[in-house]
Amino acid sequence: MAKQNTVFKDAYNRCLKVLAETSSLPSEPELGQVLGVSRTTVRAILGRFEEEKLITWDKRKKIVLRQPQPDDYFPTEETDSLAEIIERSFMRRILAGGAEPGMQINELELAREIGTGTTSVREFLIRFSRFGLIEKRPNSHWILKGFTREFALELTEVREMFELRSAASFVALPDNHSAWQELSRIEAVHHEILADIDNRYTEFSELDERFHLLVHKSSSNRFIVDFYDIISIVFHYHYQWNKTNARQRNARALEEHLAYIEALRSHDPKRAEEACRRHLRSARETLLQSIP
Amino acid sequence: MAKQNTVFKDAYNRCLKVLAETSSLPSEPELGQVLGVSRTTVRAILGRFEEEKLITWDKRKKIVLRQPQPDDYFPTEETDSLAEIIERSFMRRILAGGAEPGMQINELELAREIGTGTTSVREFLIRFSRFGLIEKRPNSHWILKGFTREFALELTEVREMFELRSAASFVALPDNHSAWQELSRIEAVHHEILADIDNRYTEFSELDERFHLLVHKSSSNRFIVDFYDIISIVFHYHYQWNKTNARQRNARALEEHLAYIEALRSHDPKRAEEACRRHLRSARETLLQSIP
DNA sequence: TATTTGTCTTTTATCCACAATAGACAGATC
DNA sequence: GATCTGTCTATTGTGGATAAAAGACAAATA
C-alpha cells in the first residue's frame, strides 16, 4: 500500500465530534480549516458520512441525520501516523530492551520488526539522529550511542545554558506580552494539580513541557527553541520509563516551578537566574539518578 | 540505476596514488584499511587494475606493471556522492537564486532539476532541516525560512555561547592533551598564510573551520560539537558567495586568531574569554554585513 | 462580489526492486 | 597460529510506482 490514510481517519474521527454538536455542517473550506486538512480530505469525509447515513449531503446542505455511535469511530491504532508508530517502537526498543551503547542498528531489521518499508525507518533514523543518540556509518549501519550518563550530562549542560539565557529574556518581556498570560494559566494549573497531587501527579509531565517550552520560546532563537525538542523527547520517554517516587518528585518540581514563576514575574534577572538554577539542578539530579 | 558506484570510483582514484608509490600492493584487508572501504570494494578495484594492465594479480601477489596515467583516474565529478551533489545544488539555489523567505520548496521539482530520485532529495531535506533554514509542513511542501538577518543573529548568539564555553574548557586542558599540539600546528599555518597573504588568503576558510572545530571539541559535548556543523556549512557557502574584501577580512581574522591562540595558551580564562569575544564580534559583523 | 462547490492536476508518503557495498565464514597460505 | 583469499549473504543507497492528500481553477451559488 502506497500511503496510509491516517490523515483521513484521524480527521474523520475529529469531524464526528463536530457533527455531534450541530444539526448541519459548515462549508467545505471551513471544515478544512477546523480539522486542519485539505478540501480533498474533507470531501472524502463527507462522502463517507453520507454512506454511513450520518448526514444527507447536497452541495451546501449537509444535514445531520443521526448522532455518531462509538463504533462509527475508527480505532485509534489506525489514526497514528507511521512516523509515530516507528518512534514508539524504536524508543521502546532502545530504552526497554538491552540497549548497550555501541550496539548496531539495522534499518532492514527494524523495518521488518515494525512491519513497514525501509524508507520510512530510514527517514525516521535521519530525523532522530539530531538527538545525538545514534550515529550513521555511511554505507553501513547506525550505531547506538546509548542513553548514558555522559549523554545526560551533555544534554543538561546545554539545557542549562539555554534556559538561563531564555529566563533572562523572559524577565525583560514587556508587560503586555502574551507570554505573561500563558504564564498565569500555567501557574494556575500548577496550583490545581498540587491541590490534588495524589490523583493528578501524572499530569506533571505534560505541564512541565508546556512551562519550559514557554520559557525557551522567549529567547526568540530558533536553535534554542528547537533544542527543546531533544529535552522534550528525552524527558517524555524518561517519565514513562522511570516511575519510582514519581509523586514525590513531581510535587517537588511543581513547587520549584512556582518559585521560578514567581521569580520571573518579579522582572528581577538575579532572582530569576537563581530560581532557574535551583530547579535545573534538581531536574538534573532526577535525570541522573535514573541512569544506571 | 540503483546505486552510484561513487565509493568505488573515489577509492579507485585514491588507490591509484598508493599504486604510484610502490612496486607491489599490500593485502586486501590492509588496502581496505588504508582506503576506508570494504574488501568487496578493494577486490573490485584490484580487478579493474588488472583489466587495465596496471598490475598482475594472483592471490597475494599484486605486482605493479606500470605507473598510472592521468586518464586512468575517474573524473572528479563522478566521485562525489549524491548527497554532496544535492547539497551543492540546493545551496546554490537558495543562496544565489531569488531565495525569498516563505518560498515553497518542492521535492519533486528539486529532484527533477537535479536529475535524481525524490527519495534522495527528501532525505537531504530532512537532514538539512536541522540547520533551521527550512521547515516542513506535513503532507505538504517545505518552507524556506531564508538566510535572513534574524537567522544570522540567532546563529551567532548560540555560537557565541558555545564557543565561550568551549574556550573556557580549552584553557583547562592538561598540558599533555593532544589539542595543544594541534593548536600549534594550526598556529604555524596561520603564520605561513599571513606571510604570503596576497596569494594564499583563500586558504583561510578551511583553516578557520579547523581552528574553531578544535576549540568546540574541547567542550566534550556532542551538542556543542554537532552545532558546529551548522556554523560550518553557513560560513562555507557564505565564503563562496561573498568575496568582497576577502583578502582584507581574512587577514584581520588571521590576526585575531593568533591573539586568540595566544590567549588560550596562557591558560588564563579571563584572557581567553576576552580574545574569543573580540574575534566573535568581528566574525558576526562580517557575516551581517553580507546580508542585505 | 465573495464564497462555495465540482473537477482536475500535482505533490507527498510509502512500498518495492536492484545495484553497490559491507561483512561473515571456511579453506588456503604464510 | 595468524592472516589472507574466495565465496557467499545481508544491508544500504537510490530510482520508480502508486494511493493519499494537497491544492488550483472555473463554474455555480448566495
Residue ranges per structural domain of chain B: 6-77, 82-144, 149-289
> Sign of dihedral through CA atoms A275, A276, A278, A279?
positive
Nine-digit cell at A261?
A: 514563576
| B123-127: average pLDDT | 98
- Give the residue among B262, B269, B278, B257 at the shortest CA–CA distance from B169: B269
* Per-residue pLDDT tens over the stretch A23-48: 999 999 999 999 999 999 999 999 99
Kindly report which amino acid residue has its CA closest to the C1' atom of nucleotide C13.
A3
With cut-offs at 50, 70 and 90, classify the pLDDT of residue B51: very high
Cβ atoms of A158 and A216 within 8 Å: the answer is no
Of A154, A220, A226, the CB nearest to B221: A154
CATH number of this structure's domain A82-144, picked from the four choices 1.10.3720.10, 3.20.20.80, 3.40.50.720, 1.10.10.10: 1.10.10.10
Helix (H) or strand (E) holding B253: helix B246-265
User: At residue B168, what is the residue type?
Assistant: A
Q: What is the CATH number of domain A6-77?
A: 1.10.10.10
Cβ atoms of B208 and A141 within 8 Å: the answer is no
Gap between the Cα atoms of A14 and A62, Å rounded = 17
From the Cβ of A70, is strand D under 7 Å away?
A: no
Q: What residues of chain A lie within 8 A of the CB of B227, using their CB? A: 223
Cβ atoms of A11 and A18 within 8 Å: the answer is no
Cβ atoms of A173 and A179 within 8 Å: the answer is yes
Percent of chain A exceeding pLDDT 90 equals: 88
With cut-offs at 50, 70 and 90, classify the pLDDT of residue B109: very high
| A15-22: average pLDDT | 96
CATH class, range A149-289 = mainly alpha
CA count, 13 A, side-chain hemisphere, A287:
25
Angle A8-A12-A14 from CA coordinates, rounded to 5°? 125
Gap between the Cα atoms of A156 and A149, Å rounded = 11
Q: Is the pLDDT of residue A97 over 70?
A: no
With cut-offs at 50, 70 and 90, classify the pLDDT of residue B52: very high
| B278-283: average pLDDT | 97
Nucleotide nearest the Cα atom of B11 (by C1'): C21
For B149-216, the DSSP string reads HHHHHHHHHHHHHHHHHHHHHHHTS-TT-HHHHHHHHHHHHHHHHHHTHHHHGGGHHHHHHHHHHHHH
Q: What is the pLDDT of residue A12?
A: 98
Asked if the C-beta of B11 comes within 8 angstroms of chain A's C-beta atoms, the answer is no
Q: What residues of chain B lie within 8 A of the CB of A130, using their CB? A: 130, 226
Domains A6-77 and A149-289 share a fold: no
**Which nucleotides of chain D does any protein CB come within 7 A of?**
3-24, 29-30
CA distance between the termini of chain A: 42
* Per-residue pLDDT tens over the stretch A102-134: 999 999 999 999 999 999 999 999 999 999 999
| B47-53: average pLDDT | 97
B130 → chain A, closest CA residue: A130
Task: List residues bridging with A265 in a β-sheet.
Answer: none
Gap between the Cα atoms of B273 and B267, Å rounded = 11
